[in-house]
């Protein structure tokens, strides 16, 4: 089987992290986001993976090529001259995707869950439809594509409404699909949306089914959701592979993932819901909760860090406090005793005055 991951553009909604690292390579649970998907596709028997991007992918190519051997897959980069939307990239990669008649997995690159690809393939085969969408339920469906079922045929989709203005239901498109190669024939070679243009054609043909996802799901393309998604991921990991999590005495409340190379002072208090990356240093008496500390960052003595993403190589000073979905880009410094609430701080900045309200610091 084959898979295409819609990687897209610069990931502007995840700035300032994506100012220095392409979104798919930003670490989620201490691994590049896209590796979770590549690994799951490979485990389901996918041999060819196309990454659809609309910028120069050099960094990604050099980072990801080495995983071809690890997972036994061929990774190709399909580069768009102009953004082709969510359907156009399938047409552009037609040669690879239609090389045989096995179905094609299509993934939005910003969604995390326990990708049920084997089950999805089996479901798809059983229903004999041209396409199957993975569905999940959310409380706020207006930011997503909403699925309405046919009242008489189980799992058959009767209506697909992208970003509905009025409430039509709360079962949404989880951004994961399986398509027969024939679906590519419905797509024209131009910027076009699978949600707005291709799905309606399939609905009309009664060829679009949905498969209900079990467990957690989150679109982690924005900082707030990145942190919420991290909590969900850690909770699932606690149930599935508790041995991967940290149980040192300085952990409180569980759900703490720490890279073995990190140095944590035994008097620090960490958790719940914290990810600490490689070579991170956490000082004496520091308190960290609901946060992600990316590689080579430092949290100095007695700092208090909550709901914060600390970018690579950044430093939080002694007695400093950060909270409110603060995101520090690469190489940011928060000086000693400073308070930061809800700031997005661009790379290489040094903060020496309190930031009390949501703001972007350039």
**Which x/- pattern, by CB under 6 A, does the window 125-144 give for ligand GDD?**
-------------------x
Q: How far is the CB of 172 from Mg ion (least distance, A)?
A: 11
* 120, 138, 180, 195, 292 from 211: Cα distances, Å: 7, 15, 15, 16, 32
With CB under 6 A as the contact rule, the residue among 60, 84, 178, 343 that binds ligand GDD is 84
Is residue 333 involved in binding ligand GDD (CB under 6 A)?
Answer: no
Is residue 173 involved in binding ligand GDD (CB under 6 A)?
Answer: yes
Query: Which residue number, 8 or 116, has a Cβ lying nearer to Mg ion?
Result: 8
Q: Has 306 been annotated as catalytic?
A: no
In 3D, which of 286, 106, 252, 114 has the Cα closest to residue 187? 106
Query: Which residue number, 53 or 203, has a Cβ lying nearer to ligand GDD?
Result: 53
| CA–CA separation, 362 and 355 (whole Å) | 13
Query: Which residue number, 84 or 340, has a Cβ lying nearer to ligand GDD?
Result: 84
With CB under 6 A as the contact rule, the residue among 2, 3, 7, 329 that binds ligand GDD is 7
Query: Which residue number, 13 or 206, has a Cβ lying nearer to ligand GDD?
Result: 13
| CA–CA separation, 123 and 210 (whole Å) | 9
Query: Which residue number, 20 or 86, has a Cβ lying nearer to ligand GDD?
Result: 86
Is residue 8 involved in binding ligand GDD (CB under 6 A)?
Answer: yes
Is 34 exposed, middle or buried, given 0-12, 13-18 or 19+ CB atoms closer than 10 A?
A: buried
Is residue 172 involved in binding ligand GDD (CB under 6 A)?
Answer: yes
In 3D, which of 297, 278, 283 has the Cα closest to residue 345? 297
**Which x/- pattern, by CB under 6 A, does the window 243-262 give for ligand GDD?**
--------------------
Is residue 6 involved in binding ligand GDD (CB under 6 A)?
Answer: yes
Q: Return the structure tokens found at 173.
A: 């498109």
With CB under 6 A as the contact rule, the residue among 18, 109, 207, 228 that binds ligand GDD is 109
With CB under 6 A as the contact rule, the residue among 3, 22, 32, 85 that binds ligand GDD is 85
* 130, 257, 294 from 330: Cα distances, Å: 44, 21, 9
- Site stretch for ligand GDD (CB under 6 A), options 47-55, 180-188, 261-269, 282-290: 47-55
With CB under 6 A as the contact rule, the residue among 3, 29, 32, 89 that binds ligand GDD is 89
Q: Return the structure tokens found at 297.
A: 């960052």
**Residue with tokens 């300085």, as numbered in its chain:** 250
**Residue with tokens 């994961």, as numbered in its chain:** 176
DSSP string of 28-65? Answer: ETTEEHHHHHHHHHHHTT--EEEEEESS--HHHHHHHT
Is residue 323 involved in binding ligand GDD (CB under 6 A)?
Answer: no
Catalytic residue annotation: 163
């Amino acid at each position: 089987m084959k898979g295409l991951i819609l990687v897209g553009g610069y990931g502007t909604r995840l700035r300032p992290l994506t100012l220095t690292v392409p979104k798919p390579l930003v670490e989620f649970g201490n691994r590049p986001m896209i590796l979770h998907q590549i690994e799951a596709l490979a485990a389901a028997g996918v041999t060819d993976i196309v990454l659809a991007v609309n910028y120069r992918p050099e960094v990604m190519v050099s980072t990801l090529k080495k995983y071809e051997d690890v997972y036994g897959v061929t990774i190709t980069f399909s580069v768009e001259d102009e953004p082709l939307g969510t359907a156009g990239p399938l047409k552009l990669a037609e040669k690879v995707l239609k090389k045989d008649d096995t179905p094609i997995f299509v993934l939005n690159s910003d969604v995390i869950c326990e990708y049920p690809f084997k089950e999805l393939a089996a479901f798809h085969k059983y229903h004999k439809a041209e396409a199957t969408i993975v569905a999940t339920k959310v409380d706020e469906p207006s930011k997503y594509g909403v699925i309405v079922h046919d009242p008489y045929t189980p799992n058959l989709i009767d209506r697909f409404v992208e970003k509905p203005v009025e409430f039509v239901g709360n079962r949404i498109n989880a951004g994961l699909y399986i398509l027969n190669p024939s679906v590519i024939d419905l797509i024209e070679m131009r910027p076009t949306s699978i949600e707005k243009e291709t799905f309606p054609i399939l609905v009309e043909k009664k060829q679009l089914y949905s498969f209900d996802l079990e467990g957690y799901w989150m679109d982690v393309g924005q900082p707030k959701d990145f942190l919420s998604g991290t909590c969900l991921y850690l909770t699932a990991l606690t149930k599935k592979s508790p041995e991967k999590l940290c149980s040192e005495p300085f952990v409180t409340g569980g759900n703490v993932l720490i890279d073995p190379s990190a140095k944590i002072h035994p008097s620090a208090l960490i958790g719940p819901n914290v990810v600490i990356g490689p070579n991170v240093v956490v000082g004496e008496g520091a308190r960290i909760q609901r946060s992600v500390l990316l590689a080579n960052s430092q949290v100095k003595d007695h700092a208090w860090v909550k709901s914060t993403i600390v970018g690579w190589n950044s430093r939080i000073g002694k007695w400093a406090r950060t909270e409110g979905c603060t995101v520090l880009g690469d190489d940011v410094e928060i000086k000693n005793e400073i308070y930061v609430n809800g700031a997005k701080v661009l790379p290489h900045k040094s903060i020496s005055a309190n930031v009390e309200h949501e703001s972007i610091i350039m």
